[in-house]
Amino acid sequence: GENVEQHPSTLSVQEGDSAVIKCTYSDSASNYFPWYKQELGKRPQLIIDIRSNVGEKKDQRIAVTLNKTAKHFSLHITETQPEDSAVYFCAVLTYSGGYNKLIFGAGTRLAVHP
């Protein structure tokens, strides 16, 4: 089955710096890759996603890049702010027995220090 690895597990940056989180996956047939942000005690919220027909997508300070050949995708946050502090999860849409489901990475705890 699909395996999703996410690194690093924790990331600490100074306000204004960039943060990069990387995920690798195993199923070359996967074609949809969302990223979620979860603040403490709250639900995960979709922040950006990418499909396999594009290599990069940007939304203000957030971008996602996808390398289908190497089977990895990354979240880039520029000009980080304290409110970016949260846990970030990557996910990969996988197909099995006629059903699709998201496989989530283990999460990255990002701390942005003022």
Partner 1 sequence: DGGITQSPKYLFRKEGQNVTLSCEQNLNHDAMYWYRQDPGQGLRLIYYSQIVNDFQKGDIAEGYSVSREKKESFPLTVTSAQKNPTAFYLCASSFKEGPQHFGDGTRLSIL
**Do 35 and 50 contact (CB within 8 A), yes or no?**
no
**Stated length of the chain:** 114
Q: Using CA atoms, how far apart are residues 16 and 69, in angstroms rounded to an integer? A: 32
- Answer for which of 14, 29, 53, 99 binds partner 1 (CB under 8 A) is 99
* Total of residues contacting partner 1 (CB under 8 A): 19
- Nearer to partner 1 by Cβ, of 16 and 95: the residue is 95
- Nearer to partner 1 by Cβ, of 11 and 15: the residue is 11
**Do 30 and 83 contact (CB within 8 A), yes or no?**
no
DSSP letter for each residue of 48-73: EEEETT-SEEEETTEEEEEETTTTEE
In eight-state DSSP terms, residue 9 is: S
Pattern 34-73, partner 1, x by CB under 8 A: x-------xxxxx--x------------------------
Least Å distance between CB 86 and partner 1?
A: 13
- Positions in the binding site for partner 1 (CB under 8 A): 32, 34, 42-46, 49, 89, 91, 93, 99-102, 104-107
